[in-house]
Chains A and B, each alone.
Chain A
Amino acid sequence: MQSDDVIWDTLGNKQFCSFKIRTKTQSFCRNEYSLTGLCNRSSCPLANSQYATIKEEKGQCYLYMKVIERAAFPRSLWERVRLRKNYEKALEQIDENLIYWPRFVRHKCKQRFTKITQCLIRIRKLTLKRQRKLVPLSKKVERREKRREEKALIAAQLDNATEKELLERLKQDTYGDIYNFPIHAFDKALEQQEAESDSSDSEEKDDDDEEDVGKREFVEDDEVEESDVSDFEDMDKLDASSDEDQDDKSSIEEEEKSLDTRHKGKTPLKGPLRRKRA
């Protein structure tokens, strides 16, 4: 004998219901046939002999109905109707199947159906978008690769390799005329300059000795500027320095000195300045 009130009295309030979940403010019903998910007198599938729900399976929505006449036949308790794909037609179907049923159940069924169709639409949209693929990483492999990378870094000696390559390119003249380094040509030019300046100096010195005896002149300081490019600028000036009173060699020495001073006097004990490895 099926008495809803007795069932509700027992399960709903006084005793244990295995589908019920209580939180601080609300209680929920975990039953799969529940219409709303809440634990209420009117939405408990156990405490209502005439009950209906909407359930979704693999993209298809079904209307499940239970009536008291079949309460004695648990196997065929729930009657299932497949709903149409068209939203409005499905609503009409619900109405026609649940005609003469209480308002509450009808209303809630339609609401539930709406929600489910909205979810399905969203799922279909999302599958069209790009899906993030999660690739599992093996910790062992990651560790191994990290270790090998470190060793490869040490074996690579990157700074050395880069420097070597750049010097190679300098040798093979890819930089053209930008740098006037090649020492052989430089030395030759030097010798030429010396020869010229010696001859010209000797002439000038005679004149200067006579002129400079009582003359006051303001002479510029021989410091080299601090920018990086100044080296090259000075070297360019060297070619055209035959007019100046400087000896070419002394200018080079001054440059070297200035380079050293730029290193702030911190020459390492172990020889020439070395770059630290990264």
Chain B
Amino acid sequence: MAKAGDKSGSRGKKGLKRKATAEEPQEAAAAEDGAPESGVQLPKAAAFPPGFSISEIKNKQRRHLMFTRWKQQQRKEKLAIKKKLKKEREALGDKAPPKPIPKTIDNQRVYDETVVDPNDEEVAYDETTDEFASYFNRQTSPKILITTSDRPHGRTVRLCEQLSTVIPNSHVYYRRGLALKKIIPQCISRDFTDLIVINEDRKTPNGLILSHLPNGPTAHFKMSSVRLRKEIKRRGKDPTEHIPEIILNNFTTRLGHSVGRMFASLFPHNPQFIGRQVATFHNQRDYIFFRFHRYIFKSEKKVGIQELGPRFTLKLRSLQKGTFDSKYGEYEWVHKPREMDTSRRKFHL
């Protein structure tokens, strides 16, 4: 009895090993082969009923054992498949089919109908008539006012200072409890083109409001991963007064396009290449990474970059049509987490 039980138990174990692949036919085969294969075995004594899964074993240790065994089996099979494929590729040599492209989130991105086509006339027309047209026509040159929320702490103040070295023609002013709605008309009268407000929470900067002044759009960002200059490893010396170049990466949709233009309008239009400084705004999956580098061309095909300057990540929270007015403003786009964050493959910028 015990012996038979053991045998069937061991048989059952082996049967379980090939769990995923054809469990039931295996059981049936085992049942059929029961008599001829191991004569001592009880026929049709399938130790586990078909449709049995490892997770139904009540004993934790045994269940764990079964699972690890199954996992090892899976891994072996996977490795075998890979080896086989590799051999086939080598055998074919040049005639091998091209390697399949791995799927990434960026590859699988949900098709967004607002993606800008570079030749789109409507977009081109919009761009010539929007609020940044005067900047892109070289009629106005940017003048930026950088300020913070009330009572900033050291980190925020230092970030403001460093930002003002990065952005040419920018001035830092202390907030001192003034209302933004009162600051804005004053700025307009003094010919400022943009207003940057860095919001602070618990001694760290966590928000950025970028407002284009005469009556331009206001973008509200969530700022994270702020690194000041001294926290950046392997950085270069402080940036000089040269006007940097700008790189805007991956701003594909209409919304992304307008945000990209907002960033571009912060910097004067005539970068000084002698300075070899470049500010990068790279959008990846709706996160905008800001970096400031100094580059040097070592050869025609190689360039070395050295990071200066602060770095931070922005995530767009809302885009408002007029200047800053949280209550009565007309919002072009607001980030609603419950609706917009449901799909992992859908991005808006």
Contacts and interface: CB of A to CB of B under 8 A. Distances in A.
Contact of A153 (B150, B273, B287, B301): B287
A162 B280 contact: yes
Contacts of A132: 150
Interface in A130-156: 130, 132, 138, 141, 144-146, 148-149, 151-153, 155-156
B194 interface: no
A129 B180 CA distance: 11
Contact of B284 (A156, A181, A183, A276): A156
Nearest to B224: A149
B225 interface: yes
Contact of B313 (A129, A149, A151, A176): A149
Contact of B179 (A130, A153, A165, A176): A130
Interface of B: 104-106, 150, 177, 179-180, 222, 224-225, 234, 245, 247, 249, 273-274, 278, 280, 282, 284-287, 289, 291, 293, 295-301, 303-305, 307, 313, 315, 337, 341
B105 A158 contact: no
Q: At the interface, is chain B mostly helix, strand, loop or mixed?
A: strand
A265 interface: no
Contacts of A145: 222, 224, 315
A106 B25 CA distance: 100
A141 B342 CA distance: 12
Contacts, number: 91
Contacts of B305: 159, 162-163, 166, 275
A167 B287 contact: no
A162 B287 contact: no
Contact of A152 (B285, B297, B341): B285
Given A148-B285, A181-B297, A278-B307, A158 B274 contact: no
Contacts of A151: 105, 285
A151 B344 CA distance: 12
Nearest to B293: A162
B341 A155 contact: no
Given A129-B179, A161-B249, 8 more contacts: A145-B222, A153-B287, A155-B285, A165-B280, A176-B273, A178-B273, A179-B297, A183-B300
A165 B249 contact: yes
A148 B249 CA distance: 18
A156 B282 contact: yes
Interface bracket on A = 35 or more
Nearest to A186: B300
Nearest to A275: B304
B300 A155 contact: no
A32 to B, nearest CB: 35
Contacts of B296: 228
Contact of A182 (B150, B249, B300): B300
B209 to A, nearest CB: 13
B234 to A, nearest CB: 8
29 contacts: A129-B179, A130-B177, A132-B150, A141-B341, A144-B341, A145-B222, A149-B224, A149-B225, A149-B313, A152-B286, A153-B284, A155-B105, A155-B284, A156-B289, A158-B280, A158-B291, A162-B291, A163-B295, A165-B249, A166-B278, A166-B295, A166-B297, A167-B301, A170-B303, A175-B273, A179-B297, A181-B297, A228-B296, A275-B304
A48 to B, nearest CB: 46
A132 B326 CA distance: 12
B241 to A, nearest CB: 17
